[in-house]
Structure 1
C-alpha cells in the first residue's frame, strides 16, 4: 500500500490503463467463447429437429407408393399379357389402365416386366421414348422382386435419364412368379421445397454419392473418394448410367467419432462457406441425409455480443477515466453530473412521451385504414350483389311469363287427367301426368338458373367450362331476347374451353355485357347478337358483338368507370360494366372494346386458359 501511494499520478494512470486493457481482453475473449458455444448449441438443436422433419417427409413420400405395385400385381389383366395370350385390344386396355393409375397416383411411370426382364406394358406406352421392349433385368429391384419380395432402388433411368426411386413387386399365379410390376417416382418436388429453405440439404447413397440436394450443382457429386472396387460396382449396376463422378468442392472438414460435423464448401456463387453438419441415416434405403447450416449466423451473434461487450467496457473505462480525472474537482464534477443527468432524464421523458403519442397516432391511423378497407370490401361485395339483383328485377317480367305458361298448362293437364280417370281412360290420363312432369322440369330449370345467378359466390377461382355460364346467361335473358326480336348467332368450338374463373361471377359478367348489348339495340331495326369463343395460346377470347350504335372513341376510356352511364335516369346505376371489369380483372383477364365496321360494338373478354379438359372442369366444378 505504501509503495502504491508513493507512485506518481501519471504512473497510477498508466497502471490502471494496462490493468483495464487486460480485463477488457479477458472479457471480450470470454464473451466470444460463450456466445459461440450457446449459439452452436441452439443451432445444433434446431438443425436436429429440422433434419428429423426432412427425414420424416422423405419417408412419408416413399411410403405413399410402397404398397402401389403390390395392389397393381393383383389385377388379373396382367396374366394374359405376361403369358403372351392377350390380344391387341387387351394389351391396349392394360396400357391405358397403367397410364390412369400413374396419373391418379402422381407416380412418374408404371410398367410391367416379364421374368426375363423385358417390359411388355407401360404407362408411357404412347410416348417416345417408351419403356416397352426395353430390358431392365440388370436392375437390383427386379432381381429382388423375382425372389417374391418388394424390391426398392434409387437410380438414374436408363431410358429417361431422370433420377427416380423404383418399387417392384412380383406378379404371382399358382405360387409362381409370372412377372414384376414396377412403380417409378421422382422426388424433384421435395428438392423444390428444400430450395426455399435457408439451410442446405443433401441425401447420399451408401457410397457417399449425392443424388438428392437443394443445390443442383451438388447432384451426383462425391463426398468421399471411392475405391476402384466401389467404382466398378457402381458402373456394373448402371445405377447412374455413364455419369463421370466428381468430388464436391470441400476445402476442409471436421469429424467427431467418424461423423462429419463441419465443412467448408463452395456455395452457388462459388464462394467457400463454412457449414455445420447434422446427419441421420435411413437404414431401410441405405441413405444418409445431411443438413448443412451456415456458420455465418454464429459469426453474426459473436460480432453482436462483442460489440455490446466492447461498448460496455468502453463505457466502464471512460467512467473510470472520468473518476481519475475529476479527483481534484470532485464536488464540481458531481454537481455537473447531477445537472446533466437531470437534463438527460427530462429529454428522455420528453422524447419518450413524443414517441408514445406518435405511436398511438400511427395505431389509430392503421385501425382507421383497416376499417375503411373492410368497409370498402363490404361495399364492393354489396354492389356486386345489388347489381345482380337489379338485373334479376329487370328480368322478372320475362321470368313471370316463362313460369305462367307452364303453370296454366299444368292446371289444364291436371283437370283433363281427372276427367279421363273418371271415365276410365287411364292411358290418356298417364300421358297428361307425364306432360305435367316435363313442364315441372322446365320450371325447375328456370328457377335453378335464377337461384344460381343470384347467389353470392364464396369460391374464388377454379377451372370452369366457358359454355356453362354463357348458356345460363343466354337462358336468363331468353325471354327478353325473344321479345326484342334479337337474332343470336353462337359460334363455339366442339370442345368447350376451360378457364380459371368463378362460374357464378363469370355468369354475371356475361349477363351484364349481354344486357348492355340488348340495351344498345333498342332503337335499331336490325337486331343481331354475334357470340364467338376462340382460343389462342394460353388465352380464351369470348367476343360479344351487337348491331347497336357502338361506343364512340371519346367515351371508351370512361365505359368502365363507376356510376358512368349513357342511359336515362332510372334505367341503371352505372355500375354494371364497372363491376364486370373488376370481376374479370380478379380472374387475371381483361376486357377490350371496339366497334364493328358495319355498326355496333364488340366486347371481348380475355381469360386465362385452365390446364384441364372440359370434362374435368365439369367434374371438378359442377354446381
Structure 2
C-alpha cells in the first residue's frame, strides 16, 4: 500500500532531518534524566518485590497456622469432652450415695474405692475420687498407692468450691499430693434434690504435647492468666507470657494451681502487633541468658481461644524462610532490572548514532506507518466480527430464555396435577363438615357448630400449607428439619379421615406408647404422608364385600436411632406387579378418574428428604407401609 505524501511518518522524517543541534542536545539531557529515573524505579521495584514476597509467604504461614490451630483445638476439646460424663455417672451409683450419707462406714468405703479403681482403669482417667461437703476426700481410685488422695483436704481448690456452689466446672492444675499436672472435672452428687458431696475426675492431658509440631514451628497453650501449661518447647513450659501481678500470684498460691512452680515470665522481645490480630516476636532464652544464638528468629504468633475454659492456643511460625524468599525475590528483581538497564543503555546508544543510522531510522518510521495502516484494517475487520458475535450471543440468550420458560411451564403442569391430587381429600372433608355444620345449626347445637367451623378453618389453613409444601417439593427446596411429635402428627391426619372411618365402618387401632415420640422431620409434610397412606388404605378397604370386617392399624415403634410408623390394613393387598411400581409417578391401581398415581411417589420423596425411607412390607393379608425416620429429642429442638 503506497504511503500518502502527507502521512505522519513522512512528516516525522522531514522534521528529524531539520532538527538543530540544540534540540538534539536537549534530548540527550532528557535521556540522562530518564536513565536515573529508571535506576530509581529499579530500587523501588526491589523494595516492592521484597515486601510483596514476604507478605505472600507470611500469608501462607498464617493460613497453615490457622488450620493447625483448629486441629489442635478440636483434638484437645474431644479429649476433654470424652470424660465429661464420668462425674455424672457417679451420682447414679448407690454405694457412692450411701458412703456420702454414712462416711464412717468402712465397708462402703472399700466398695467405693474398688469401684472407682475399676472405673478409672476402664475409662482411662488418671484418678477419680469422692469428696464430702467439708472438702475431705472419702474415697479415691488410687487408694492402694502411697500418694492416695483418701483423707486429703482440698477445700482450697476452685473446682471444688464451684461444684459445692452448684456450678459444675473444670480446672487445670498441678497435683499437690503427686505433683502430677492434670485437668479436673468436678460435679455435685445429689439425692432427692439435696447435695451430698462432689465427684471429681482427674485426666492427664500432657499426651497432647506428643502430637504437636516439633522443630521450627511451636505450639503452646496458655490459661487465662497467660501461664503456658502445655508447650511443644519444653524450655517454655510453665512460663508466663507477661509478668504476673502480685494479686494473681497470690491467688495462684492460694489455689495451689501450679504448686511448687516459680512461673517466670518468657523473655519476649520486639513484640510488633498487626491489624489482622497476629504478632511478630523474638523470644530470648528461658533462663535469661543473652549469649549469641539464645534468641529465636522472628516468629509469627497466631492465637485461638478455647471457650469456655478461657484458654488460648498460640502457634509460632518461623519467619526466617519467608524473609529468605523475600531476599531471593529482591535478587531476582535486581538481575531483571540490570538486564533492563543494559537494554536501556543499548537503546540510548542507538539514539546517539548520527548520520549512519539516520537512513535506517527513517526507513523504520515508514515501516511503522505501513504496519499501523495494516493494523487499522485488521482492527476494523475484528470489530465487524465482534458485532456479528454479539448479535449471535443475543440470539442465543433469547433462545435460552424461551427454553427456560418452557421448562417452567412443564414444572407448573406437574405441580397442578399434584395440587389436584393432594387437595381432593381435604375438600371432601370440608364438604362433609359443612353439611354437618348446617345440621348442627338447624338443631340449635351452636357449640358443636362452632367447633365444626373451627375445624373447617383448620382444614382450610392446612390446605394452604399442603399447597406450599407441594410447591416446595416441586422446587426441591431444603426446608429446615426439627423434632416433631409423632402423636400430634397422627392426630392431625386422623382429623381428615375420621368421618370416613365412621361411614365405612372401619375399626381403627393406634398402637403407640403413652410417652410422646419425636422424629427429625417437618410436621406438615409428615402429616401429608400419613394422610396419603391412610386414604389409600381406606380406598383399598372400600373394595371389600359388604359386611366384611375392615381394620386400619397405625403402629409406632422407637429405637435409639430411628422411629418406625407402620400403616396397615386388611384389604385385598398388593400384587407383585403393583409392588414393583408402587413409587413410580402416575402409576395407580385405582379405577380411571379416581387417582393420578402421584401420592406414593410424592410421599416417598418427602420421606427421603427427611433422611428416612418409605417402603412396603409383605404381609399375609392386606397391605402394610412403613415410614422410617431419624429419632429426635426435645433437647435438640430447644438447642
TM-score, with normalisation over the residues of structure 1? 0.52
Give the corresponding residue for 1:32: 49
Asked whether the 8 Å contact 1:560–1:578 carries over to 2, the reply is yes
CA contact (8 A) 1:275 1:293 kept: yes
Give the aligned partner of residue 531 of structure 1.
Answer: 554
- Match for residue 116 of structure 1 among 135, 140, 148: 135
Are 1:205 and 2:228 an aligned pair? no
Q: Distance in 2 between matches of 1:229 and 1:312?
A: 49
Distance 2:537 2:484 in 1: 24
Question: What residue number does 1:553 align with?
Answer: 576
In terms of mean alpha carbon deviation, does 513-522 or 386-395 score higher? 386-395
CA gap 1:342/1:204 in 2 versus in 1, 3 angstroms: farther
Q: 1:396 to 1:222 in 2, by over 3 A?
A: same
In structure 2, relative to structure 1, the CA distance for the partners of 1:529 and 1:137 (3 Å cut) is same
| Correspondence for 1:543 | 566
CA change 1:228–1:209 in 2 (3 A) is closer
Contact 1:465 1:499 survives alignment (8 Å): yes
Q: Summarize the Cα distance change of 1:327–1:135 in structure 2 as closer, same or farther, 3 Å threshold.
A: farther
**Residues matched between the structures, number:** 455
Counterpart residue number, 2:262: none
CA contact (8 A) 2:270 2:280 kept: yes
* Local SS of the residue matching 1:225: helix
How far 1:607 sits from its partner (Å)? 1.2
Given that 2:544 and 2:571 are in contact with CA atoms closer than 8 Å, whether structure 1 keeps it comes out as yes
Work out the CA distance in 2 between the residues paired with 1:35 and 1:46: 17
Matches within 5 A, 1:161-180: none
Retained in 1: the 8 A contact 2:173–2:257?
A: yes
Aligned ranges 1:397-546 → 2 under 5 Å: 397-400=431-434, 402-403=436-437, 406-407=440-441, 410-411=444-445, 439=448, 443=452, 446-447=455-456, 450-451=459-460, 453-456=462-465, 460-525=480-545, 526=548, 527-546=550-569
Give the direction of change, closer, same or farther, for the CA distance of 1:30–1:261 in structure 2 (3 Å limit).
closer
Report which of the two structures shows the higher radius of gyration computed on alpha carbons: 2
Aligned partners of 1:289 and 1:222: how far apart in 2? 12
Provide structure 1 residue ranges, at least 5 long, that are not aligned to the other structure.
1-18, 48-82, 86-110, 121-130, 169-177, 185-199, 212-219, 242-252, 265-272, 412-435
- Deviation per CA, 1:117-169, whole angstroms, max 9, x where unpaired? 5699xxxxxxxxxx9999643525667999x9x999841799xx99579999x
Aligned-partner Cα distance in 2 for 1:302–1:384 = 69
Structure 2 residue aligned with 1:277: 301
TM-superposed CA distance for 1:227, in Å, is 8.1
- Residues 142, 360 of structure 1: alpha-carbon distance in 2 compared, 3 angstrom cutoff: farther
Q: Deviations over 1:293-338 (max 9, x none)?
A: 8979999999999999999999998899899798696246525643
Structure 2: how far apart are the matches of 1:580 and 1:335? 76
| Alpha-carbon distance in 2 for matches of 1:208, 1:261 | 18
Report 1:86-105 matches (<5 A).
Answer: none
Closer, same or farther: CA 365–303 of 1 in aligned 2, 3 Å: farther
Question: Which residue of 1 is the match for residue 157 of structure 2?
Answer: 139
Q: Distance in 2 between matches of 1:377 and 1:134?
A: 75
Distance 1:455-1:307 versus aligned 2 partners, 3 A rule: farther
Find the aligned partners of 1:137 and 1:491 in 2 and give their Cα distance.
55
CA contact (8 A) 1:44 1:278 kept: no
RMSD (Å), alpha carbons? 6.7
Distance 1:312 1:372 in 2: 61
Shift of 1:505: 1.8
Q: 1:38 to 1:589 in 2, by over 3 A?
A: closer
CA contact (8 A) 2:54 2:322 kept: no
Q: Which whole-Å CA distance do the structure 2 matches of 1:164 and 1:382 have between them?
A: 63
Q: Counterpart in 2 of 1:53?
A: none
CA contact (8 A) 1:551 1:594 kept: no
Where does residue 631 of structure 2 map in the other structure? 609
Counterpart-to-counterpart distance in 1, 2:326 and 2:414: 49
Offset, 1:555 = 3.4
2:280: which partner in 1? 261
Whether contact under 8 Å (1:486, 1:529) holds in the other structure is yes
Which deviations, in whole Å up to 9, do the C-alpha atoms of 1:349-382 show, x marking residues without a partner? 5786688678768877887788788878877776
Deviation at 1:390, TM superposition (A): 1.8
Question: Aligned pair in 2 of structure 1 residues 162, 322: CA closer, same or farther (>3 Å)?
Answer: same
3-state DSSP of counterpart to 1:399: helix
